[in-house]
A and B are shown apart, each in its own frame.
Chain A
Amino acid sequence: MKKVIHLLTLLALPALAAEPTVNQLLAKYDSIMGPLSFEAQTQMTATREDGTSRTYVMKMLKKDNDKFRIYFAEPSSVKGQEVLRNGDNLWVYIPNLKRSTRIANRDSFQGGDFNNADVLRVNYQIDYHGTLIPSDSEDTYCVELKAKNPDTAYDSIKLYIRKSDLMPVKGQYFGTSGQMIRSAAFSDYQEFEKGYTRPAKVVMQNEQVKARKTELITKSITLKVDVPVQRFTQSDLGK
């Protein structure tokens, strides 16, 4: 009997190494795009249909799977603004309002083509069911994700992951009626810390209004920072 099991394991191992499961792919994606805790300096440039663009500079803090805080530094019109996620709650703090107020997952993030959940809810294992589907190219896997609940940013997503190093290459994001709303291109893969490589640049293309796109660039990122839980409470906003 033991022999049989050994034999089976031996047979199964090479297969496993060649074809990762959906869950392995998603776990890998989540660990690349949304490590458990980090502090990052990022820059977002939103291009609008009239050709004008605007660049935002911000600092991001993340703790656990559901705590996220963003501090805007530039341009001056949003300086002092903050966004906080705690669990399913999203708040924005606007200095001249002198208060924080709730916002929704699917609202646009600073008028760009990312929505709030794209930036603040980057854990696909929690929010989506995945299945492997045939990819459009030889060297990528394609994972189709279906939303588990209405709080998610999209109803379904197709994620293309490079076979060689399991880095994300592109994403296609679909709305309720099945139409493609956005598509993302991941590039500039960079090793920020030893053993941690991620695409430094994500370009989100608006598929409804083709002239609109937004790019998000990670300037620097430090993993495993220890931020006190206090930083992720509503009462801490604006302080």
Chain B
Amino acid sequence: MALLKLAVRNLRRNRRRSTITLAAMIIGTVAMTCLRGFINGQQRVIIDNQVEGRMGAVQVHKRGYIANVLTSPLALDMADTPELRQKLAKIPGVVAVAPRIEFGAMLSTPDKKPQPDDGSLLPPADQGKTSFIMATAIDPQAEALVTPLRNSFIRGGKLFASVDAHDIVLNDDFARGLEVAVHPEGTPLPKVEQQLALLAPDRDGALNGENVVMGAALPSFSPGDRRIGLVPLGTAQRILRMEGRVTEYSLAVSPFDAAPRVRDAAQAALGPDFEVHTWSELMPFIGTLTNTQDFIFSVISGVFLAVVLLGIVNAMLMTVLERVREIGTMLAVGMRRVQIIQLFVMEGLVIGIVGGLLGIALGYLIVTLAGHIGIPLPAPGAAVPSVVKPFITPLYLVSALVGVPVGASLACLWPAWRASRLRPVEALQTA
């Protein structure tokens, strides 16, 4: 305790140096806390865009679906019964259930001019185009609860209101490429020859189709989603000749981290004919992305920490040089060498505690403030506006509160050891 008092007094003796060391400590800690808070906020945006904009937190399929998703998943379908939906809705943590069918389809646009009567062919520029799309058939009511974010992304029109509607939603870049525009709501439909044709092989492989119009546009919100189209569930079931059947249920869960628990409960409730996955299992790239970010963050914090701690080492070495006579006196009056080490380490610890506390408090304040205001910034690869809301986890707070003082005292070990090695007789002779 006496050592602590001595350490504090020593620090107060050279106020300017102590202040500068402390300032470096605080700035470093604030910067690290803010960076961590921002990365947290950005990762949350990426996850939210995927989970609440597209996937849902937990998905249910027929067993083998995910492994075969590239071939013909339509054969791995299930009857969409009220009992099955009830069973899923009753699982604790599940707040909504949305039925879906994922299928590959062709979208064919009308020719810009009628075919010439003389039997000649239209020039390529006037010909309609055909393009492959990955269609997701959804029930708009159920989907509003499972992927609420998607509805807020929709532009230029509205998401179809019923499962039997004849309008679909296309990615806006993709639609522009195909020269398809949103059909304004409330105006009469164009003649069938001027509508889009949505064609797909049905469950048995036979080609079928429906005439549709584009009802709204959806901007990209993750890399590689340009070919995604939203189709009313009933319309898709007619094309695929799969009335009353779906290939996927998507579940919204609350709280967000209940997903693994819901997955286990759903798997137990449904039995081995089904497979249940959480969003992080379905989108492993998000894990890779956050891991990469976390790695970069730890490298940056390592460099920051090293710079700040080297500053402390430097300041402490100066102190030791200045206090050679004093150290000599202390040793001469019987202070033990280990106590000298303790004294200097204690000085570092005090700076670390004060600097760490102030830095983390200030950083936390800034992050919380930024979290309330929000930083408008689109997620990587996304065209939708999104707001990054930085936040700090309790785990980070605790580890910073422990780590900064420990680091600061460790940085003092070497200067302290040098001080403890002084010979009292020589030390007392220095000017």
**A residues within 8 Å of B by Cβ?**
46, 48-50, 52, 54, 56, 75, 77-78, 81, 86-87, 89, 92, 94, 96-99, 101-104, 107-108, 110-112, 209, 229-230, 233-235
**Minimum Cβ distance to chain B for residue A54 (Å):** 5
Residues on B with C-beta less than 8 A from A49 are 71-72
**B residues within 8 Å of A by Cβ?**
71-72, 75, 106, 108-111, 115, 119, 121-122, 127-130, 192-193, 197, 199, 201-202, 204-211, 241
Dominant SS at the A interface? mixed
Dominant SS at the B interface? loop
Which 8 pairs of residues, A with B, have the shortest CB-CB distance?
Answer: A111-B205, A111-B201, A101-B197, A101-B108, A77-B206, A78-B206, A104-B130, A94-B209
**Contact yes or no, B75 A48, CB < 8 A:** yes
Q: Given A102-B108, A102-B128, is A234 in contact with B199 using a C-beta cutoff of 8 Å? A: no
Closest chain A residue to B119, Cβ basis: A233
Contacts between chains A and B (CB distance < 8 A), count: 89
Q: Given A54-B205, A111-B205, is A99 in contact with B197 using a C-beta cutoff of 8 Å? A: yes
**Minimum Cβ distance to chain B for residue A99 (Å):** 5
**Contact yes or no, A98 B192, CB < 8 A:** yes
Alpha-carbon distance A97/B130, docked complex (angstroms): 16
**Minimum Cβ distance to chain A for residue B62 (Å):** 12
| Known A54-B204, A94-B197, A234-B115; 14 more pairs at CB < 8 Å | A50-B72, A78-B207, A94-B209, A97-B192, A97-B210, A97-B211, A99-B193, A102-B111, A102-B130, A104-B130, A107-B106, A110-B201, A111-B207, A233-B119
Residues on B with C-beta less than 8 A from A97 are 192, 197, 209-211
**Contact yes or no, A48 B72, CB < 8 A:** yes
**Contact yes or no, B119 A92, CB < 8 A:** no
Which of B129, B202, B205 is A112 in contact with, Cβ under 8 Å? B205
**Contact yes or no, B128 A101, CB < 8 A:** yes
Alpha-carbon distance A54/B205, docked complex (angstroms): 8
Residues on B with C-beta less than 8 A from A99 are 192-193, 197, 211
**Minimum Cβ distance to chain B for residue A80 (Å):** 12
Q: Given A49-B72, A99-B211, A233-B115, is A111 in contact with B206 using a C-beta cutoff of 8 Å? A: yes
